[in-house]
Amino acid sequence: MPDALPPDAVRKVARLSRLALAEEQVARYGEQLSAVLGYVERLRELDLEGVEPMSNPLDETNRLDADTPGGTIPGATFMRMAPEALPPFLKVPKVLGDGGA
């Protein structure tokens, strides 16, 4: 398994996680995440050759429902739930940064 997380890797994973970390948090998270990633290294001791990965405890497969319309929550409710809305739209900041077209 790969080595534990250096600061640049913490910054990268924070960016992928969409978490704006303050610089002073990077070292601390790095230590804590490294401790956990170090601990899980013990999985390498096991012989897992030929073992099928198990993502669901009951090995269930997806079930398809009939495609029939049902009741739903009114749009006005969602507008009231949103932190910023201009019904019938949700307000978002500009999607593309300054480098965008």
Partner 1 sequence: MILAAARSDKERAAFVCSPADGPQLRFGDMHPPLPTVTELRDAISHKRMSAVEATREALDRATAINPRLNIFLELFPDRAIEQARAVDRAIAGGQPAGPLGGVPIALKDNMCLGSPALDYGKTTCGSKILAEYRSPYTCTAAARLMEAGAVIIGKCNMDEFAMGSSGEHSAFGPTRNPWDPERVPGGSSSGSAAAVAAGIVPASLGSDTGGSIRQPAGLCNIVGMKPTYGRVSRYGLVAFASSLDQIGPFTRTVADCAAMLNVLCGHDPHDSTSAQRPPEDFGAELERGVEGLTIGVPRQAKSEANHPSVAGAVERAVKVYEGLGARAVEVDLPHTPHGIAAYYIINPAEASSNLARFDGIRYGHRAKLAPREDLEDLYSKSRAEGFGREVQRRIMLGTHVLSSGYYDAYYTTALKVRRKIKGDYDAAFEQGCHALLMPSSPTPAFKIGEKMNDPLAMYLEDVYTVGVNLAGLPGIVIPGGFGTVDGRELPVGMQLVGPAFDESRLLRIARMLERETGFGARMAVG
Helix (H/G/I), strand (E/B), else coil: 21? coil
Binding residue for partner 1, selected from 23, 24, 68, 83, defined by CB under 8 A:
83
Beta bridge partners of 90: 85
Give the one residue of 74, 86, 88, 101 binding partner 1; rule: CB under 8 A: 74
Number of residues near partner 1 (by CB under 8 A): 58
9 phi and psi, to 5 degrees? -70, -35
18 near partner 1 (CB under 8 A)? yes
Among residues 10, 13, 12, the alpha carbon closest in space to that of 29 is found at 10
Neighbours of 79 (CB within 10 A): 14
Strand ranges for 22-92 from DSSP E: 85-86, 89-90
Among 24, 69, 88, 97, binds partner 1 (CB under 8 A): 97
Which residues sit at the interface with partner 1, rule CB under 8 A?
A: 1-2, 5, 9-10, 13-21, 29, 32-33, 35-37, 39-46, 48, 51-58, 60, 62-63, 65, 73-74, 77-78, 80-84, 90, 92-98
